[in-house]
Amino acid sequence: MNILILGGGGREHSLAWAVLQNPKCDRLIVAPGNAGIEGIADCADLDIEDGAAVCEFAVSNAVDFVIVGPEAPLAAGVADDLRAANVLVFGPSKAAARLESSKAFTKEVCDACGAPTAAWARFTDTGPAKDYVHAQGAPIVVKADGLAAGKGVIVAMNEADAQAAVDEMFGGAFGAAGAEVVIEEFMAGEEASFFVLCDGTAVLPIGTAQDHKRVGEGDTGLNTGGMGAYSPAPILNDSVADRALDEIVKPVVAEMARRGTPYQGVLYVGLMIENGRPRLVEFNVRFGDPECQVLMMRLGAQALDLMLACAEASLADARINWADDHALTVVMAAQGYPGAYSKGTPIGGLDELPEDSKHMVFHAGTAKRDDHLVATGGRVLNVTARGGSLAEARNRAYAMADRVDWPGGFFRRDIGWRALAPKL
């Protein structure tokens, strides 16, 4: 079959890598792709948030199946447009994508079906929001309702910071995303992510992961899109996963179906786990980046069969082959990230690295310039490895990262520390 993947980061490179291992895939196109993806698939220049353009491209290229990587096309309704054009698509409708694009909507759905999450309230004006913060006290969490590229959440450890966050959000710091503000109880515990495929009714867990959001070692410094990840997440053991499935995922999926907006796609369930009890922090309506890279490393070719079963609503009959393995990815970022960083710095050494079912360097922000590879983004490479233990996966990934010749880049040396001995 002919397959189109929308997106151009490390997540999409890993999706492309897994899909290509499946003999069902005849032709793979990725839009827009990047320099790494270009080496394994056709890349197309396409505005992936323009539903009409995506449909026209899919039809004129005889595409049988579209996999949507990032949230923006989903929130824009591109999956709805493809379904209307009779193109099979992996990814939720615009209405179901509200589970990521509106935090208040998600909290309301949780309340309607009894899914455990932080106590909350929603506000459209500064005064009542500030009164609520004062009445609740700190620590407390202030969130812009809409999509803010992961930046619209302030975990305030004192009341003054929380009040400042309220002012900042209603002051327009996050644009339209902050027109409504959600204020939540602070949840203590350890965070982990649970990935579940949903076909509207049936659900199938496909793995767990933990990522490192802070830029600095020891999980310090500024927040980023993620500096590394590993799978599985030891804290999210079978008993926690079962609880999360029974108490959060199944009730939410049933509630979405009841509302006439069934959820189809991968549900990224961000959990806070305390004493074996999972509570929902957030949903994302797509694979995480870089969590997808470690999941794809472990799933390999079957990822395509699972995504197809999801899109065809036959998940109840699908089976997943679990291997007793571990994967870890180290993000190499441009120096300065997540602040200002320079673009166009040259990257060498990748050609000498192993590329097999245990070793892959997924590209996130790269381009070819006069036959040289250069960095074009903040997060640039995802050095990913698999092993029989997390330590083995970690050692393989760092052995590769150390051989990448990129003076303009940096990486954390402690990815996986919570799950390994906290030293390197």
**Which residue ranges make up the site for ligand GLY (CB under 6 A)?**
211, 225-226, 284, 288-289, 291
Contact 297, 310 (CB under 8 A): no
Instruction: Name which of 247 and 291 has its Cβ closer to ligand GLY.
Output: 291
Instruction: Name which of 130 and 143 has its Cβ closer to ligand GLY.
Output: 143
Instruction: Name which of 154 and 179 has its Cβ closer to ligand AMP.
Output: 154
191 binds, among ligand GLY, ligand AMP, none (CB under 5 to 8 A by kind): ligand AMP
Instruction: Name which of 177 and 364 has its Cβ closer to ligand AMP.
Output: 177
Instruction: Name which of 153 and 307 has its Cβ closer to ligand AMP.
Output: 153
To ligand AMP, the closest distance from the beta carbon of 403 in angstroms equals 32
211 binds, among ligand GLY, ligand AMP, none (CB under 5 to 8 A by kind): ligand GLY
To ligand GLY, the closest distance from the beta carbon of 348 in angstroms equals 27
187 binds, among ligand GLY, ligand AMP, none (CB under 5 to 8 A by kind): ligand AMP
Instruction: Name which of 73 and 226 has its Cβ closer to ligand GLY.
Output: 226
183 binds, among ligand AMP, ligand GLY, none (CB under 5 to 8 A by kind): none
To ligand AMP, the closest distance from the beta carbon of 141 in angstroms equals 4
3-state secondary structure string across the chain: CEEEEEECCHHHHHHHHHHHCCCCCCEEEEEECCHHHHCCCEECCCCCCCHHHHHHHHHHCCCCEEEECCHHHHHCCHHHHHHHCCCEEECCCCCCCHHHHCHHHHHHHHHHHCCCECCEEEECCHHHHHHHHHHHCCCEEEEECCCCCCCCEEEECCHHHHHHHHHHHHCCCCHHHHCCEEEEECCCCEEEEEEEEEECCCEEEEEEEEECCEEECCCEEEECCCCEEEECCCCCCHHHHHHHHHHHHHHHHHHHHHCCCCCEEEEEEEEEEECCEEEEEEEECCCCCCHHHHHHHHHCCHHHHHHHHHHCCCHHHCCCCCCCCEEEEEEEEECCCCCCCCCCCEEECHHHCCCECCEEEEECCEEEECCEEEECCCEEEEEEEEECCHHHHHHHHHHHHCCCECCCEECCCCCCCCCCCCCC
Query: What is the side-by-side strand order in the sheet with 366-369?
Result: 346-347, 372-375, 366-369
The tokens for 266 are 């991968």
Instruction: Name which of 140 and 400 has its Cβ closer to ligand AMP.
Output: 140
291 binds, among ligand GLY, ligand AMP, none (CB under 5 to 8 A by kind): ligand GLY
Longest dimension (CA), the chain: 60
To ligand GLY, the closest distance from the beta carbon of 11 in angstroms equals 8
247 binds, among ligand AMP, ligand GLY, none (CB under 5 to 8 A by kind): none
The tokens for 178 are 């902050």
289 binds, among ligand AMP, ligand GLY, none (CB under 5 to 8 A by kind): ligand GLY
Contact 311, 82 (CB under 8 A): no
226 binds, among ligand GLY, ligand AMP, none (CB under 5 to 8 A by kind): ligand GLY
Instruction: Name which of 42 and 159 has its Cβ closer to ligand AMP.
Output: 159
To ligand AMP, the closest distance from the beta carbon of 70 in angstroms equals 15
Instruction: Name which of 182 and 381 has its Cβ closer to ligand AMP.
Output: 182
- Note the residues at the interface with ligand AMP (CB under 6 A): 118, 141, 150, 153, 155, 184-187, 191, 270, 281-282
132 binds, among ligand AMP, ligand GLY, none (CB under 5 to 8 A by kind): none
